Amino acid sequence: MHIELLLYELLMDIGSYGNFNTLANLCAVNKRFNKIFTGQLYKKAAVLAAKGGRVHLNPAGYAIYSNNSWLLDQ
């Protein structure tokens, strides 16, 4: 079975195990993967930024760091 034929939910689950570089590579595969994995990529980047201590420079990182991740859904 070709990976592009997998259901959206399965691809999202696969992406949840990927690191930042893996998600960036998946986003570059094609338009469908870009649409599916871009959200996970941004959330992963925000978490990494929050752990790096530059929370005040990254609004998404601040939202996750301060346990207000619901702000990312807006």
Q: What is the pLDDT of residues 12-68, one digit of tens each?
A: 898 899 888 888 888 888 899 989 998 898 888 877 777 765 555 566 666 666 666
Determine the Cα–Cα distance for residues 64 and 73; give it in Å rounded to an integer. 12
Structure tokens at 67: 């346990």
Q: What is the pLDDT of residue 46?
A: 79
Q: What is the pLDDT of residue 17?
A: 92
Q: What is the pLDDT of residue 69?
A: 61
Cα–Cα distances (Å) from 19 to 1, 9, 41, 65, in that order, read: 24, 18, 9, 18
| Domain parsing of the chain, residue ranges | 3-73
